[in-house]
Amino acid sequence: MKTFTDAYNSYPKFRCGCPDFEILKYNFYYLCDCIEIKQNEFNMEVRFCQSCGMPLRQTEDLGTNVDQTPNEDFCRFCYQDGNFTQDVTMEMMIEHCAQFVDEFNKDSAQKLTHEEAISQMREYFPHLKRWKNETE
């Protein structure tokens, strides 16, 4: 498992500039300084959904297994009751994530185009467990 710092450094450099990451909700691939602050505060390891790249910071963010225990690898948007919620390819997931770029840009000093966001995700997503086999 990656440490937070490894993950942070290898993650596309999205910054939300928000006072509270919670307000971003489904803007899963946006790492912000707030997370880093919280990480230090609680000395927790931040993991990322191995399907969409959303930070998994608390139990409520996690998906669920068949027996309703939390799944440590995937977020609740991607994985529920032991199955992926959507049968998609990596490319489809990237497209799905890319629709949140405009929302992200509103609150950020760094403005990304749709294409820039997609190209950053294309580099990052093949490292996630769900897509590893697909891209090998």
DSSP line for 70-106: EEEEEETTTEETTEESS---HHHHHHHHHTTHHHHHH
Of residues 116 through 135, those in contact with Zn ion by CB under 5 A are: none
Do residues 62 and 72 touch, judged by C-beta distance below 8 A? yes
Q: Which CB, 86 or 113, lies closer to Zn ion?
A: 86
Minimum gap (Å) between residue 109 Cβ and Zn ion: 26
Closer Cβ to Zn ion, 4 or 48, answer by number = 48
CB of 79 to Zn ion, least distance (A): 7
Q: Which residues contact 25 (CB under 8 A, 6 or more apart)?
A: none
Interaction between residue 7 and Zn ion (CB under 5 A): no
> What's the rounded Cα separation, in Å, for the pair 74 and 20?
22
The size of the chain, in residues, is: 136
Give the CA count within 13 Å in the CB-facing half-sphere of 54. 29
State the minimum distance, in angstroms, from the CB of residue 25 to Zn ion.
Answer: 12
Residue (40 or 83) nearer to Zn ion, CB: 83
Among 29, 41, 57, 38, which residue's Cα sits nearest to residue 128? 29
- Which residues, 24 to 83, sit near Zn ion by CB under 5 A? 49, 51-52, 54, 75, 78
Q: For residues 16 and 49, which CB has a smaller minimum distance to Zn ion in the complex?
A: 49
Minimum Å gap between C-beta 49 and Zn ion is 3
Cβ of residue 119: shortest distance to Zn ion, in angstroms? 20
**Contacts with Zn ion, residue ranges (CB under 5 A):** 49, 51-52, 54, 75, 78
